[in-house]
Structure 1
Amino acid sequence: MRRARAGGRGGVFTPSDFLDMAGRAAVDQALSRLAKSGRLRRLARGLYDFPKMHPKLGPLSPVPDDVAHALARETGSQVQIAGARAANALGLSTQIPAKSTYLTDGPSRRVVFGRRVVDLRHASPKHLIAPGSPAGTVVQALRHLGLVRASDVARVAALRLSASDKKTLATSAVQAPAWMRPTLVSIANTSGARWISSPDSTNE
């Protein structure tokens, strides 16, 4: 509980986050007791949080990115926001989807809490380009919005990506579908700017 408090309210955990303290069985039992006492909240099998509290609404839902990161730590995998979430992170969509989709090189898993869904989908390397980086978010936003809005993605990404991220994009472009490559290369070749975080962006 001290470790949960140290990270502040809103933290999301799996048993693997505590295995340096005790064996798996003991950790499972301790987390179960803390959840039953109301000190932690059980979100799903093997997934807990130390929820933020609202004075009127009570416990708030966890941040989807935090849930995805916790599940990734459990399996030692990488995650990358995808779909509408990626477009939203770039400011190219005002839509905040109820389902937050992530691509991962680990196992697929879906977690439902309230009206929110966190959906981790196993993806092959060709679909998981520069995972956990702003460059990867640009690729996924472009994949979601399609060629018809490629110029919008290029304009925003040119302003938001750092020089380092653009280098990552340049080296990763060869892995992308042919229709994406000209847009990714054009973004990588622009100068200046830096990544500007949005409330729904992620930098795993």
Structure 2
Amino acid sequence: MGRGKHATSVDSHILGLVQSRPAGWVFTPADLSDLGSRNAVAAALKRHKKAGLIRQIARGFYDRPRNHPQFGVLAPDLKEVEQALKRRDAIRLQPTGTYAANLLHLSTQVPVRIVYLTDGPTRRLRVGKTHIILRRTTPRNMATAGTASGLVIQALRWLGKKSDHSSTIPLLRKALSVDDLHRLASDARYAPAWIATIMREVSTNSEAPK
């Protein structure tokens, strides 16, 4: 028996939305809730997955795969996973550790275990080979979540107080926009004293050429 007109309509609307987004876009059924009932959306996702039009990257998470001419299908975009999580659960997330340092080009390490601070519940998920941990924390630790200042605080915390930060400061000045550099000084109040000192130093002379 063929599928009804409603199922076909849901299929086409979902596919149209996915194809209107750039390759690498990560989404959940919640992003499609206005396109059909829960069951209709689930059935459409199953069909599109089988046809190779979308990829399931974790339980409840899908993406429009990115293809590289040399390397083929690429791993899921973790920044897109983060955005999908925030949309679905209405939470804030703050990257920490090696991942925060990597995003600021302070480290070339690509972690297989990423920890986010969150104002939502603590939980874990796996995306490909990457283990993602959401760790609930205090409101103070989330005060700069989702900002460049938040990344700087967490990256410096990972580098450690005893590290030689003489090379870190110019790297941060190069990585951050002028607006982000200006904001560092005011956001320093949310950081431990030694990190706040570095943030203010990075912010100093932020008008200098990058």
Name the TM tier (shorter chain). Answer: 0.7 to 0.9
Q: How many residues align?
A: 195
Tell whether the 8 Å contact from 1:174 to 1:181 is kept in structure 2 after alignment: yes
The alignment's C-alpha RMSD in Å is 2.4
Partner of 1:107: 121
Q: Name the SS of the counterpart of 1:180 in structure 2.
A: helix
Tell me by how many angstroms 1:129 deviates. Answer: 4.1
4+ residue segments displaced more than 4 Å: 54-58
- Where does 1:1-204 land on structure 2 (aligned, <5 Å)? 1-54=15-68, 58-149=72-163, 150-193=165-208
CA contact 2:58–2:128 (8 Å) conserved in 1: no
Structure with more of its chain in helix, by fraction: 2
- Other-structure match for 1:199: none
Structure 1 position 7, deviation (Å) = 0.9
Max Rg structure: 2
Percentage of identical aligned residues: 39
Q: Which amino acid aligns with 2:182?
A: K
Q: Which stretch shifts more, 46-55 or 9-18? A: 46-55
1:137 Cα deviation (Å)? 1.4
TM-score (norm 1): 0.81
Q: Identify the structure with bigger relative contact order (alpha carbons < 8 Å, sequence gap 6+).
A: 1
Give the CA deviation at 1:141: 0.8
Q: Which moved more, 1:124-133 or 1:11-20?
A: 124-133
CA spacing shift, 1:95–1:41, aligned 2, 3 Å: same
